[in-house]
Structure 1
Amino acid sequence: MSKEFRTTGGRGITRRGFGAGALGTGLLLGAPAIAQGKRDLRVGTWGGEFGNLSPVIRSDIQGSLVMYNVFDGLVTINFKDRSIMPNMALEWTNPDPLTWRIKVREGVKWQKGFGEFTAEDVEYTYNFHISSKSFQMGTSLFPIASVKADGKYVVEVKTKMPFGAFPGITMGYGGTIISAKAHKEMGNDAYSATPVGNGPFQIESKKGTEIVLARHPEYWRPGFPKLDRVVYRAIPDSTTRLQALQKGELDFVTHPDPKDMKALRKDSRYTVKSTPGWAWDYQQFNLKSGKPDAPFHNKLVRQAISYAIDREAIVNEIYYGEAIATDNQIPAGYMGHRQPMLKYPKNGDLKKAKELMAQAGVKGYEVEVITSDKDWLRKELELVAAMVSQIGITYKIKNMDMGGFNSLWLNKKFDQHLEDITLVAPDPDATSWWFLHGQGNASGYNVPAMDAMLDGARSELDPAKREALYHKIVDRTLEECPIIYHCNTNNIQIYNSKIQGFEPAPQEYTEKLDTVFWS
């Protein structure tokens, strides 16, 4: 390791994206698109047609499962100890509070003959995010003032403020780099559909609900990936996905119905992985551009809803124990975590909820609540609607596909929603700033005192002072309830027991397949 550069184990942040699915349980998948062999893998995901796969445009969770097998980012996370590890970035230094110097790995080849990965690609990617005002400017790249390649393999980034979580957040979630040459030649739209990456697999074909990946023949890690091809099929209904696995039409499925886990764990034909997730299911209120006379603008009403929620019932009835009830945003293992339940009883308190509704002077009302195409969340919303009906609130449920949901959510064209989110880095900034700051990408809440605490925690370098700030942030969140948290969910995969080498992650959108092989 050079004297100038050193690897820093920065701590670093979101993202996660129940009613039968539209396909029903009688779907016949037909013949596979590729010949099944010991070096091929057929994967079943939820959702509909695959959309954007480019890192410079927001993708949904389903698309990210593919994208993170096509691209290798600047850094990777060691999920066991939450440290930030070198990947495309070999080393990095912080010579002064507003400067980061990154040395990239030499000899990495872009797929399909687009040349070598260099510092120019990093400069191009970050500047494209800045010029296009991409979603990453509100999430991971917000501190960047300028980016410039210093030779072929070094990048210098100037920041607007000190930011100790830069390696985990800006280089982590924001560190998936695109090929400057390929992006310029293909154009942004074509690149988003079938991007050229630097990861273990390259896109062979993409049509509707199916994507075929092939082994990247010039991948930089010798001996990887171990598979020649991966076929992804989107199947909205969890029961149908599981049936396809049991019929031998799939080898690996994500998000099976948790009610099936007990029986599947006893079946030697399959391996079941259930990993506590850096994630939560939650409700959010549009407090910025929603209806100004909506009763939920009164925090007493929001508190009443939180008291009306039986979180343990959600854990048991929706997730069959594959989740942990929580009322706050910081999961176990993160700086600032205290315990899952800090204020609201896990079984709810209807008496207290009704008292708060009376105190607010609200007897009852109707509100439209949207959710996405994740079948487990649709079931959860139905259960939660029944809970709040006991205090006079009627949820008018609107189920949407993920693209439609994201459009309304990110543009703040909703009244209330129920969804899940995955935290993209192991830093408490990821749990709070984007959701609670007045300038956050997903915020419907704007309170200067909260903004000041969030900004202070983001720039504070002393761990003890920073943790104390996050305790205050959580306490204020629990008091004002701009977001109501339900549970931290597990990420579940089930696959043929002859498959080896899969390492599950606490992030829903991360299912790396480069180490997977058939025994």
Structure 2
Amino acid sequence: MRYKSRLLVSLIAVSLALAGCGGGGGQRSPSGNTSGGALDRSAELRLATNAFGTSFDPHLSRNFATDVPWDFPIYDRLLSFADNKLEPMLAESWELADDRRTLTMKLRSGVTFHDGTPFDAEAVAANITRGKELDGSTVARVFALIDSVQTPDAGTVVFNLNGDGSLLPYSLADIPGAMISPAAFDGNVAQQPVGAGPYKLVSSTSDSATYERFDGYWAPDRAKVAKITYRSIPDDNARFNALRTGQLDVMQLPATIFQQAQELETRGQAKIERALGSAVIGILLNTKHPQLSDERVRRALNLAVNREAINDGLMEGECVPALQPFTAASVGNDPALDSQIRYDQAEARRLLAEAGVTNLVLRTNVVGVSPYTEIAQAVQAQLAEVGITLELTNVPGGEARAEWRKGGWDAFSALITAGVDPALTLSTSYLATDAVGGPASPELTALVDESAQFAIGSPERASAMQKISGHLTGSPTHIMVCAPQFGWLTGTNVQVEPGAFYSYSYIFDPTRLGITS
């Protein structure tokens, strides 16, 4: 089915849905660890990643991907997302009108927030209003698509939209869809969060959080452990040693220590979950920079990067060299484009000379965690060989993307954010939000607008996305490096429910993990 596109209203409005330091779209890890033994519902689940969450207030989240594991235990969303499909959560059903301008949801009854406040249609409407109007709200652009919310009864909400709402349900399954108790609005939600999720936050520090089971939760079987302790451990080896010595049950597993993790798994002392994601590690470029606005310069930068050397030397072969924006895990990937990956310093120098560029210096914001720092240093050395200087500044992982979006940097070494749908990838990284220089060309905008005429899931749309991938391969807007294999390492007594791990990022839903006896 075809429909008229309103691209910059509908796509950009939901572009923050899965954006973040580690965000990206893709399939969930297809396997689930099913360790023997019964679930120990009195157990403590101990987890660690490389970055602390930015806020316990979902309306002030500065990095959705980073905040997911910290916030999901506290907050149920209107919808959930697992096994590459939307699922009911606080909304039992949802229906998008044929004109895609009205989204109706039927809500779950008998749900209460942690403070005893009932969850109903008025609570949903209050959350949307707060998200639109709160000073500093980071979900306001998502909710800008929503003109008004009707509450015909306590169990029904109707979102009246000003654009195409096809992707809005995906946003409502992520941080923007997290429901806060309206009774908590006048307090400090960021420090004293009140949700309707399976766990309550009982304490937090600058790098850890402790949660305990909420006995009044509407689906008690979902709270698989009595307590969750979540830590930020930026050093990869320290994090690995903590799991190896039994101090952790689950850890984010970077490619840089994947071989060590495999050895642990071979000895039967741990288990690995991994999958190719839909996001690419690279260097985002600010095309407002006078010299970066020249396509020849951006092509030269891509030609000067030796992706194979980075993959083999830094990433233990776990980061697939990439030039196109969509990986093999995403709609829009064109395998034929992989043959265009080139490392050609001579051609890079020729293009720079043709563009009249000498002594180019790029102030570069670097996500200050592995592997972004190591990759940025490798690219820095390679670009120096063609006369380009990257001045690298490490920024804490939870803050780096928000700092980039202020627009004062020339480049940003990070994950080129992907969403569960390629339209979200394009909107976030190439048209708005992370594209601080704006769309690089009218041709790109026209191609994206053309793709939006086709229904999600249609062959025509997939073909249109491949055309976009081809355009961005030949006319790059960022320096593409490689598509990482994302992984997690768990103890042998960890039970993994399907959908627990997001293959496109170093994030996971702790409520889908349990400990066996």
TM-score range, shorter chain: 0.7 to 0.9
Letter in 2 for 1:457: S
Task: Provide the aligned length of Structure 1 versus Structure 2.
Answer: 475
Q: Contact 1:282–1:486 at 8 Å: present in 2 too?
A: yes
The answer for the alignment partner of 2:297 in structure 1 is: 301
Q: Is the 8 A contact 1:225 1:515 kept in 2?
A: no
Give the secondary-structure state (helix, strand or coil) at the position aligned to 1:491.
Answer: strand
More displaced stretch, 457-466 vs 218-227: 457-466
Query: What amino acid does structure 2 have at the position aligned with 1:70?
Result: I
In structure 2, the residue matched to 1:220 is 218
The counterpart of 1:359, out of the listed 350, 354, 364, is: 354
Secondary structure at the aligned position of 2:351 is classed as helix
- AA of the residue aligned to 1:415: D
Give the structure 2 partner of residue 497 of structure 1.
Answer: 492
Aligned residue runs from structure 1 range 341-490, under 5 A = 341-342=337-338, 344-345=340-341, 348-424=343-419, 426-437=420-431, 439-440=432-433, 442-446=435-439, 447-458=441-452, 460-461=454-455, 463-490=458-485
Cα RMSD over matched residues? Answer: 2.7
Please state whether the residue corresponding to 1:192 is helix, strand or coil.
coil
State the partner residue of 1:270. Answer: 270
Structure-1 separation of matches of 2:229 and 2:269: 21
**Partners of 1:394 and 1:95 in 2: CA distance:** 52
Q: Distance in 1 between matches of 2:54 and 2:172?
A: 24
Output one character per residue of 1:32-75: Cα deviation in whole Å (capped at 9) or x when no partner.
xxxx9960122222135x54122111243443321122222222
- Residue 149 of structure 1: which of 140, 148, 151 is its match? 151
Higher relative contact order by CA 8 Å / sep ≥ 6: 1 or 2? 2
1:312 aligns with 2:316: no
Aligned partners of 1:273, 1:119: CA distance in 2, in Å? 38
Q: Distance in 2 between matches of 1:55 and 1:459?
A: 32
Query: Aligned partners of 1:456 and 1:465: how far apart in 2?
Result: 10
Return 5+ residue gaps in structure 2 as ranges.
Answer: 1-13, 22-39
Is the contact made by 1:14 and 1:421 (CA closer than 8 Å) also made in structure 2?
A: no
- SS of the residue aligned with 1:156? strand
Contact 1:40 1:227 in 2 (8 A): yes
Q: Could you say if the C-alpha distance between residues 341 and 469 of structure 1 is closer, same or farther in structure 2, counting changes exceeding 3 Å? A: closer
TM-aligned CA distance change 1:464 to 1:163, over 3 Å: farther
In structure 2, do the counterparts of structure 1 residues 265 and 469 end up closer, same or farther at CA, with 3 Å as the change threshold? same
Distance 2:413 2:459 in 1: 33
Partner of 1:250: 248
Bigger mean CA offset, 115-124 vs 447-456? 447-456
**Equivalents in 2 of 1:37, 1:154: separation in Å?**
34
Shift of 1:430: 1.3
Query: Normalising by structure 1, what TM-score?
Result: 0.84
| CA distance, structure 2, for counterparts of residue 278 and residue 86 of structure 1 | 24
CA distance in 1, matches of 2:231, 2:304: 38
**1:42 alignment partner in structure 2:** 46
Provide closer, same or farther for how the CA distance between residues 38 and 107 of structure 1 changes in structure 2, counting only shifts above 3 A.
closer
SS state at 1:56 partner: helix
Is 2:77 the counterpart of 1:77?
A: no
| 8 A Cα contact 1:331 1:340, kept in partner | no
Task: Please list every run of 5 or more consecutive structure 1 residues that lacks an aligned counterpart in the other structure.
Answer: 1-10, 18-35
Amino acid at match of 1:276: L
How many angstroms does 1:280 deviate by? 1.9
The one-letter code of the counterpart of 1:178 is I
Instruction: Tell me how far 1:238 sits from its aligned partner.
Output: 0.6
Instruction: Give the distance between the partners of 1:436 and 1:412, measured in 2 at CA.
Output: 14
The aligned amino acid for 1:66 is W
> How far 1:142 moved relative to its partner?
4.1
> 1:398 Cα shift?
0.9
Q: Which residue of 1 aligns with 2:165?
A: 163
Give the deviation of 1:422 after TM superposition: 4.7
Contact kept, 8 Å, 1:422 with 1:507, in 2: the verdict is: no
With structure 2 as the length reference, what TM-score do the two structures score?
A: 0.84
Task: Quote the residue 1:99 is aligned against.
Answer: 102
Shift of 1:274: 1.7
Counterpart for residue 205 of structure 1: 203
Matched with 2:35 is none
Cα deviation for residue 364 of structure 1 reads 3.7
1:193 aligns with 2:191: yes
Aligned AA for 1:72? D
Aligned residue number for residue 21 of structure 1:
none
1:222-255 Cα offsets, whole Å, 9 max, x none, are 3231211111122221111112222332222213
Partners of 1:314 and 1:63 in 2: CA distance = 29
What SS does the corresponding residue of 1:331 show, helix, strand or coil?
coil
Of 453-462 and 274-283, the range deviating more from structure 2:
453-462
Tell me how far apart the structure 2 counterparts of residues 63 and 152 of structure 1 sit (CA, whole Å): 30
C-alpha distance 510-142 of structure 1, shift in aligned 2 (>3 A): farther
Is the 8 Å Cα contact of residues 53 and 64 (structure 1) preserved in structure 2? no
2:319: which partner in 1?
A: 323
Q: What is the CA deviation profile of residues 320-375 of structure 1, one whole-angstrom value per residue up to 9, with x for unaligned ones?
A: 12232221222334332222844641x62223322222322224422221112212
Determine the structure 1 residue equivalent to 2:70.
Answer: 66
Q: Which residue in the other structure is 1:4 paired with?
A: none
